[in-house]
Amino acid sequence: MATKKSTKKPASKPAAKPAAKPTPTKKGGSTKKATAVMTVRESVTTYVPVSHHIYYDGYSYRVRASVNGVKHSANFSSKKKAFEFRRSILSRA
pTM over 0.75: no
pLDDT, position 42: 80
- Contact yes or no for 43/50 (Cβ under 8 A): no
DSSP code at position 12: S
Q: What's the chain's average pLDDT?
A: 82
| Confidence bin at 30 (pLDDT 50/70/90) | low
Average the pLDDT over 42-49 and give the result. 86
- Contact yes or no for 38/47 (Cβ under 8 A): no
**pLDDT beyond 90 at 60:** yes
Q: How many CB atoms lie within 10 A of CB 74?
A: 15
